């Protein structure tokens, strides 16, 4: 997605060969117009998939998920990190290991909000090693719902997450695919089958 790639070039910051900081428009400050365009793009890409629900993870997935949900006219559910929950509902839970923080987080979704008949689109800001996506996928499976695909803002194509998911037969749509962060520069992957 041209607009997102341009934003990454202009306002993203390469902190190391594996860390791209996008605090200026996704993770801390949000560009609402960019998010609207991102939502529209996902809505178009998944328009034929009969999506009934969008599932994301607090916090950075919420803004793009809200916009995609608005354009597809379906509800959005954000999985909560366990410690943010005050109530003991019946929950689907999953462990998500963060390589950056070197710790596991339990994420949870109430039984009420994903059902067996749902056709789910998972959305997240980053895809790197795929742990968050796998955790969300595990929740969809527990609910007996169908996963229609995973939408990602920025995929680090040099890490294993994308292949891990595709090898499971999951449709992955990444709006920007970063091939390398070497030498302090963002290099995007060649677009395969791009218009």
Q: Which is nearer to a second copy, 109 or 153 (CB)?
A: 109
Q: Shortest distance, CB of residue 50 to a second copy, whole angstroms?
A: 17
Residue window 60-79: x/- pattern of binding to a second copy, with contact defined by CB under 8 A: --xx-xxx-xx--xxxxxx-
Please list, in sequence order, all residues whose beta carbon lies within 8 angstroms of the beta carbon of residue 164, skipping any fewer than 6 positions away.
129, 130, 134
Using CB under 8 A as the binding rule, the residues of this chain from 44 to 63 that contact a second copy are 58-59, 62-63
Q: Shortest distance, CB of residue 55 to a second copy, whole angstroms?
A: 10
Strands (E), 112-159: 119-127, 146-156
53, β-bridge pairs: 120
Please list, in sequence order, all residues whose beta carbon lies within 8 angstroms of the beta carbon of residue 92, skipping any fewer than 6 positions away.
108, 109, 110, 111, 114, 139, 142, 143
Binding site for a second copy (CB under 8 A): 15, 21, 23-24, 28-33, 35-36, 58-59, 62-63, 65-67, 69-70, 73-78, 80, 84, 86-87, 89, 100-101, 109-110, 112-113
């Amino acid at each position: 997605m041209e607009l997102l790639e341009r934003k990454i070039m202009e306002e993203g910051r390469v902190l190391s060969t594996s860390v791209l900081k996008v605090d200026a428009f996704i993770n801390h400050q949000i560009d609402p117009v960019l998010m609207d365009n991102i939502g529209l793009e996902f809505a178009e890409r998944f328009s034929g998939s009969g999506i009934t629900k969008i599932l994301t993870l607090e916090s950075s997935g919420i803004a793009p998920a809200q916009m995609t949900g608005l354009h597809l006219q379906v509800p959005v559910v954000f999985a909560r990190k366990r410690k943010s929950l005050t109530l003991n509902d019946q929950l689907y839970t999953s462990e998500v290991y963060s390589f950056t923080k070197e710790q596991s987080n339990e994420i949870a979704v109430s039984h009420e909000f994903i059902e067996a008949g749902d056709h789910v689109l998972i959305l997240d800001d980053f895809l790197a090693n795929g742990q968050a996506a796998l955790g969300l996928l595990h929740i969809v499976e527990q609910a007996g719902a169908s996963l229609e695909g995973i939408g990602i803002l920025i995929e680090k194509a040099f890490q294993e997450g994308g292949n891990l998911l595709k090898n499971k037969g999951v449709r992955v749509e990444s709006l920007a695919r970063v091939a390398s962060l070497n030498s302090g520069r963002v290099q995007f992957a060649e677009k395969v089958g791009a218009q």
